Amino acid sequence: MNERIAIVGVGLIGGSFALALKAAGHAGEIVGVGRDAERMAEALELGVVDRVETDAVAGVAGCDVVLLAVPMGAMQAVLAAIAPGLGPRTVVTDAGSVKGSVVRDARAALGTLVRFVPGHPIAGTEHSGVGAAFAELYRGRRVILTPTDDTDTDAADLVTSLWEKTGARVERLGVDEHDELLAATSHLPHMLAFGLVDALARDGDAERVFRYAAGGFRDFTRIASSDPVMWRDICLSNRGALLSALRAYRDDLDALTAEVEEADADGLLQRFRRAKAARDRFCG
């Protein structure tokens, strides 16, 4: 509980990680690292971090662990920026939603994956920024780690212990397995929510449409209020797996369209029953 930790990108994800560790009694210094001095000052003022640095090398110098909580599109540049400041035993981990691209970026920037532990907390809200951070975000939620064959066991164990102190349940998957699963269960739903809201917003009578939108519409599209830049980067970073998920869904949507077109009452009822049973079992 005495590790000095640098968090590069102190927003909802990185800020909540810091707050959760503090709530668990973490005694080591937590350093916030980011280029925006105003945002860093806000993180310090809110008590999310103990010190802030706008210089990446100074921010990670002397740290035991570095968490990268930046958009996927920024990972490569951030890894290259922090590399000169890392010590030989510094553990680097991340909170990105795609693991294949992060592993490639880390190998290119760091030269080795021995002290790199790819990670992804399955948690978040539609809000962003350090002001949205809260200590309970990870409590009872899953965090997936995808250590590579090169990753030191002690590095993976240290990252596991830190996430467990936030209240999270830590599991391990392979890199490709993670990206395929998340394409279907997270990335695809976000694409559908963004796509539906955009389609309705471009309707000539959009104001009237949204005025009469009920609770179901609000529930289904809540995640379309998420950070557009972040989701653009996720979409492009996991393009291959996401395309497979989109094509599979398109085929199933064609089948659903045919059931409606043909007034297939039995087909629709079976589909709805299967969906209800599955959701009640896994999400209820």
The pLDDT tens digits for 5-43 are 999 999 999 999 999 999 999 999 999 999 999 999 999
Please say if the pLDDT value at position 259 is more than 80: yes
pLDDT for the residue 208:
86
Cα separation, 31 vs 44, whole angstroms: 9
> Which residue shows structure tokens 């104001």?
207
Note if the pTM is more than 0.85.
yes
Cα separation, 219 vs 197, whole angstroms: 12
- What is the bridge-based pairing of β-strands 116-117 and 91-94? parallel
pLDDT for the residue 1:
67
Please say if the pLDDT value at position 125 is more than 90: no
Which residue segments constitute the domains of the chain, with CATH numbers given?
5-173 (3.40.50.720), 177-283 (1.10.3660.10)
Q: What is the mean pLDDT of residues 160-187?
A: 97
What value does the mean pLDDT of the chain take? 95
Task: Let me know the angle formed at the C-alpha of 71 by 66 and 77, rounded to the nearest 5 degrees.
Answer: 65
- The answer to whether 163 and 170 are in contact (CB under 8 A) is yes
Cα separation, 167 vs 7, whole angstroms: 18
